Amino acid sequence: MQLELIDYGIIAIYFVFVVGIGLMLKRRVKTGNDFLMSNRSIPLWITSLAFISANLGAQEVLGMAANGAKYGLYTVHFYWLGAVLAMIFLGVYMMPFYYGSRARSVPEYLKLRFDEKTRTLNAVTFAGMTVFSSGVSLYALAMLMQVMLGWDFDLSVWLAAGIVLVYIFLGGLTSAVYNEVLQFFLIVLGIAPLVYVGMQKAGGWEGSFKMWTTRSCMSGKGSPILPPTRWGGCRQHGVRA
């Protein structure tokens, strides 16, 4: 794929707009509480959209799509069983404790609840997980830019990381949240037409369901003669596989 001048212009405008959000919000950041907690002034609907957007990154858009192509509807169970229940538990049960303690982070809350050793252990493990997770996201983004646009891999990594660093440094948590909301709408508006076109080419819901189940059953997970189950599994001699 070869980009034209107008394409580079759109990309440049987006980058300038993202950094501009940080510059615009910089005037609000006067204390450490403003930088880390946004002074607890961000509306609920904004934080909710940002929370959803945090789960619409490169790992989800690329990784979950690849897993869906490989494993079928089994991929959906990752969120149904792994993520959704955990999010509900966090929002309903744990958030009142976090908010009431006035802690600025989970490690700080653990220090208040337990001791310094617990805080240190959680901070170190969470930092390690964040580094690996961010690395995977940057790798996926750079690989996408390299394959689709022919951009240099290292340049893509440094450019993406640099832009994030700039708007976080300028606006803190507030800038991060509002940029997450911006990316939420861009991702949804960008993917929705692709989903519609893909479903049409697959024959609608009926055609998609038939394709998913047939592929799953013909891949060695079950008998192609017996009918598949509703959620993508197969039956072997009348027993769900």
CA pair distance 199, 201, nearest whole angstrom: 5
Cβ(1)–Cβ(144) below 8 Å: no
Please report, to the nearest 10 degrees, the dihedral formed by the alpha carbons of residues 191, 195, 201, 202 taken in order. 140
Q: Which residue from 43, 52, 25, 40 is spatially nearest to 172, judged by alpha carbons?
A: 25
146-203: per-residue pLDDT in tens?
887 788 899 989 988 898 888 888 888 888 888 888 888 888 888 888 888 888 887 7
Can you give the pLDDT of all 241 residues of the chain as single tens digits?
Answer: 677 788 788 888 888 888 888 888 888 888 877 787 777 778 888 888 887 887 777 677 777 778 877 877 777 777 777 777 887 888 788 878 877 887 778 888 888 889 899 999 999 999 998 888 888 888 888 888 888 778 889 998 998 889 888 888 888 888 888 888 888 888 888 888 888 888 888 777 777 777 666 655 554 444 444 444 444 445 444 444 4
Report if pTM > 0.75. Answer: no
